[in-house]
Structure 1
Amino acid sequence: MSMKLLEGERALITGCAGGIGRGIARALKAEGAIVLGSDIAAPPAEDGIGFLAADLSKRDGWKKLLDGAVKKLGTISLFVHAASPRRLEADTPLSVSEETWDLMTDINLRSGFFLGREVGRHMRDNRIKGRMILVTSQHREMPRNLPHYSASKAGMTMVMKELARVLAPDGIRVNAIAPGAIPGGGFVAGNLDALVAQIPLGRAGTPDDIAQVAVAILSERFGRYVVGTTVEVDGGLGLTSWIPAKA
């Protein structure tokens, strides 16, 4: 029987209470990784995935999470930042509040950067040829009528590139995944049928669609030469122009 792709790896995943983060946590565990997930609320316990509560909107939230994760896992060889607040269609460029802006950028961008940087230092200091993924979005480049979300994902993309460049000489690979329309988690579609009609592949995505790509990128069998790259997983939605402008 062949060895699983991530046998013996130790993974920390943010945003694992549901949606994409939960899907990635399950997929990594299925491929042999020891998985510790985090979120502000506990996920279902039946998956057998470890859990550590963390509020990444707080200034010290990322540090408390990292300290707790190292205590539980010992070392971290895989890191996935999938945490992101729920986004509401009402939070358009002319209506989004400062509080909503801060919440989104604190969790996505600030915590994503500091966790990635300190996990990278941990990997380097322990001579671990680790791998990281930041979950960004198509809307790092395509306007979404949600400026706080799009701006945070654009910033995360550059954070990924900056970390990838500085950590690659130590054998640490940093990449990003840009999901398309994945209902559930933080994604709320006003008219899902109309959105699906725009997807060339003809269906919305699932967390498992994202998770299987994450496994490939994180594995040394398939992803060993992938560094500083954003992989689109969107059924072809990025080929269309599907977001109408509105105030």
Structure 2
Amino acid sequence: MMPSAVFPDLKNRSVLITGGGSGIGAALTEGFVAQGARVAFIDIAEAASQDLANALDNKYGNRPFYLKADLTDIEALRNAVATAISKNGPVTVLVNNAAWDDRHDIDDVTENYWDGNQAINLRPHFFTAQAVVSGMRTAGGGSIINFTSISFMINQGNLPAYTAAKAGIIGLTKGLAGRLGPEKIRVNAIAPGWVMTERQRTHWVTEEGLEAYMKRQAIPEELLPGDMVGPCLFLASDASRMLTAQTLIVDGGCL
């Protein structure tokens, strides 16, 4: 469900979302499209992304611009960002959402696996931000929103490379906020709890596991991708103009 709030300053804003073709990313793409923003999104899954672009065009009459790129390839990432800028103008809202949360055990992690995991879950956050900063400076400011996760906060033990990356995103967020704040570029993070995407339901959700997890939440309801949209719109908009270097935890009050 999309939030009912409207942020007038987001209309016609140039927005770039990584991993915007499915799961939380697809909800974010729709959320900004619904606000009337000029949205570009990067995703490696072409068929699903094209279907999403078509569906949102039919629903809102505001087609998001899909860019296929492998975010582990920094040159391809930079080219995709440049194409988005040429299409929609300088990016003033960047949402670093892309991630890959495969489960893995400490005994099974190789050097190549570790490096590949960081190349998906941490490295693109920095290089996508680097690629849009010049345009934000020219525009007089902007908002960068980095998606992390509560997984490293709750000592989740079955994906250590992923949780290390997600903790690193908090450090990156604070470091970039300190560097870019004087240029009116705000940098914040959103830490979702266990969001019931199709991927989660397919691979890891069981009735017993979900029931046990709900008991840990102060609000005992399933978190859905759309629940991440309102917080992200707020951080993108001028409503949060003096909010930077912060992490907004959206987890239903997980204990």
Q: Which runs of 5+ in 2 are unaligned?
A: 1-5, 58-63
How much does 1:66 deviate?
1.6
**2: distance between equivalents of 1:185 and 1:133?**
23
Between Structure 1 and Structure 2, which shows a larger proportion of helix residues? Answer: 2
**4+ runs of 1 displaced by more than 4 Å?**
none
In structure 2, relative to structure 1, the CA distance for the partners of 1:3 and 1:62 (3 Å cut) is: closer
**2: distance between equivalents of 1:156 and 1:210?**
17
Name the aligned partner's letter for residue 229 of structure 1. Q
Aligned to 2:40: 36
User: What does the per-residue CA deviation read over 1:186-206, in whole Å, with 9 as the maximum and x for residues that have no partner?
Assistant: 543353232223222101211
Equivalent position SS for 1:68: helix
1:189 aligns with 2:211: no
1:122 aligns with 2:135: yes
1:200 aligns with 2:218: yes
How much does 1:236 deviate?
0.6
* Residues 11-90 of structure 1 mapped to structure 2, 5 A cutoff: 11-42=15-46, 43=49, 44=51, 45-48=54-57, 49-88=64-103
Q: Aligned to 1:155, which of 168, 188, 211?
A: 168
How much does 1:118 deviate?
2.4
When structure 1 is superposed on structure 2, of 57-66 and 185-194 the one drifting more is 185-194
TM-score by length of 1: 0.88
TM-score by length of 2: 0.85
Between Structure 1 and Structure 2, how many residues are aligned?
A: 233
Contact preservation (8 Å) 1:160, 1:175: yes
Question: Identity percentage over the alignment?
Answer: 31
**2: distance between equivalents of 1:112 and 1:84?**
10
* Residues 79-228 of structure 1 mapped to structure 2, 5 A cutoff: 79-88=94-103, 91-124=104-137, 126-145=138-157, 146-184=159-197, 187=200, 188-190=204-206, 191-220=209-238, 222-228=239-245
Contact preservation (8 Å) 2:101, 2:162: no
How much does 1:148 deviate?
0.8
Aligned to 2:3: none
How much does 1:181 deviate?
0.9
In structure 2, relative to structure 1, the CA distance for the partners of 1:164 and 1:140 (3 Å cut) is: farther
**1: distance between equivalents of 2:156 and 2:114?**
14
Q: Which runs of 5+ in 1 are unaligned?
A: 241-247
**1: distance between equivalents of 2:215 and 2:154?**
18
How much does 1:127 deviate?
3.2
